[in-house]
Amino acid sequence: MSGAVIAGAGRVTQMSGPPAVEPGDAAAIDVVAVGSAIVDILVHATPADLVRLEVDAGTMTLVDLVASERLRASVAPVAQVSGGSVANTVVGVAALGGTAGFIGRTADDELGSLFCSDLARSGVQVGRTTHTPGAGGAAGAGSGSDAATGRCVVLVTPDGERTMVTHLGVASMLTTHDLDEDMLAAARVVYLEGYLWDVPSATAALHRAIEVAHAGDGLVAVSVSDRLCVERHRRELLDLLRDDVDVLFANEEEAIALMGVPTVEAAVAAIEETGVLSAVTLGPAGSVVVMPGSSVTVPAAPVATVVDTTGAGDLYAAGFLYGLTNGANPVECARLGGACAAEIISHMGARPQADLRGMLAPDTDARS
């Protein structure tokens, strides 16, 4: 396996294997994510259902607990599973054979227990978590309290498009007190969720996570999460690229918004100048790996039928980060990310159903 070139925070480091983490490499964790602890409630829906429920197709809408419980009672869930963007990613890392951890906030309620036990069953270490007392019953149904575990009703239409109605609950209360700094210090990569920049109390926690990661010689990766989120926090995200971020994940729309340019080609050119290793996903067209002064387009992996695009970007990041922490070069990382994304969009839900380790090339599966 050729050495990976890791770039960012104003530096380029040639690496022949996993990032060096000292002391105690044996105890290092490949990827530790800091993000929103959300339970995904997956629902099959038709365009007519979206009209009836008064939600706009393909959007993510934030609602209070009462509205969320009302919606939950009016649909027929296919499944309930721990979710949240970066939580999906670390589950993918674990499924590939890597070591992974998650830090977030849940409530002491039904969905909070589901979230933590589901991650643990998936092989993800759950960091020291603040369990806010729940409102009782089915996560405080009907109480109007925000002291409940976050949940997202994911309405999936026949074309595979997802429409999300989210109540953040206590996920929106993340602070520095919720950080498991021992876990962060052991991480080869600390992976941060862009959505948290919408949460005022969480921004201090994210900056502290960056400090702890770099103090432990870990890398910092960021998913910018959403175009509207980018537009709200563009200046701060650009500051992070200049000073703190080693790896960036964005889709085509997010990259254009972040760099303030009209086309993805211009966005890629602008990202090249930052010196940050980046992956810009292009949907069916694959992805572009951006390195200091160059970029490579990697075609999408084939998929027979697109069933549900939920989690495609999250599992792309899982494959990319697994490759990165196991000595792959950036193009190889992108190919593995694309293969993981193809598996996810072939079925309902954002968790793998196939054996992801079977996608690894013999020299990529360093843990066998």
| Nearest-angstrom CA–CA distance, 114 and 94 | 18
| Nearest-angstrom CA–CA distance, 121 and 237 | 34
Residues in the chain where the model's pLDDT stays below 50: 1-24, 135-145, 365-368
| pLDDT at position 144 | 41
| pLDDT at position 279 | 97
Q: Helix, strand, coil proportions of the chain in percent (round to 5)? A: 40, 25, 35
| pLDDT at position 47 | 94
Q: Mind listing the domains of the chain with CATH numbers? A: 4-36+84-134+171-359 (3.40.1190.20)
| pLDDT at position 147 | 83
| pLDDT at position 328 | 94
- Both tokens assigned to 123: 């092989």
The answer to whether 267 touches 259, Cβ cutoff 8 Å, is yes
The answer to whether 249 touches 85, Cβ cutoff 8 Å, is no
207-220 pLDDT tens trace: 999 999 999 999 99
- The kind and range of the H/E element at 95 are helix 85-95
Q: How many CB atoms lie within 10 A of CB 295?
A: 16
| pLDDT at position 359 | 80
| Nearest-angstrom CA–CA distance, 299 and 26 | 35
- Both tokens assigned to 245: 């971020």
Strand partners, 11: 8
What DSSP state is assigned to residue 23?
S
| pLDDT at position 1 | 34
| pLDDT at position 192 | 95
| pLDDT at position 197 | 86
| pLDDT at position 139 | 36
| Nearest-angstrom CA–CA distance, 3 and 321 | 14
Q: Is 349 left (phi over 0), alpha (psi -120 to 50) or beta?
A: left
Q: Edge to edge, what strands does the sheet with 150-156 contain?
A: 60-62, 162-167, 150-156, 38-44, 77-83
| pLDDT at position 305 | 87
| Nearest-angstrom CA–CA distance, 107 and 37 | 10
| pLDDT at position 134 | 54
| Nearest-angstrom CA–CA distance, 110 and 134 | 9
